[in-house]
Amino acid sequence: MTRAYEEIIDFIAAGTTPSGIVTFQPSEDAKARLADLIHREKTTGLSSEETSELNHYLQLEHLMRLAKARARAHLTHEQLR
């Protein structure tokens, strides 16, 4: 099984551009996996491995939000030149 956060790691590892960062969206499979983990965390609980997967995803998602903000600023700066 692929962990939800592996898509973000693969995206970063492949290299990208500021506009690539801005437009990046996780796949529907990753979104569904994340929604399932969050739902089960609130209801039945998660295994320690699933908790780790969720925490890793949330950390990477936070970094992607920061990267998207910086990439947007970079693109705006480039357009003003």
Domain boundaries, the chain: 6-80
pLDDT attached to residue 2: 79
d(CA 80, CA 53): 40
Rounded to 5°, the CA angle 58-11-67 comes to 60
pLDDT attached to residue 81: 83
CB 19 within 8 A of CB 71: yes
Instruction: For residue range 28-79, list pLDDT tens digits in order.
Output: 999 999 999 999 999 999 999 999 999 999 999 999 999 999 999 999 998 8
Q: Is the pLDDT of residue 10 over 80?
A: yes
**DSSP state at residue 44:** T
pLDDT attached to residue 4: 83
pLDDT attached to residue 20: 96
Q: Is the pLDDT of residue 1 over 90?
A: no
Q: What average pLDDT does range 9-23 have in this prediction?
A: 94
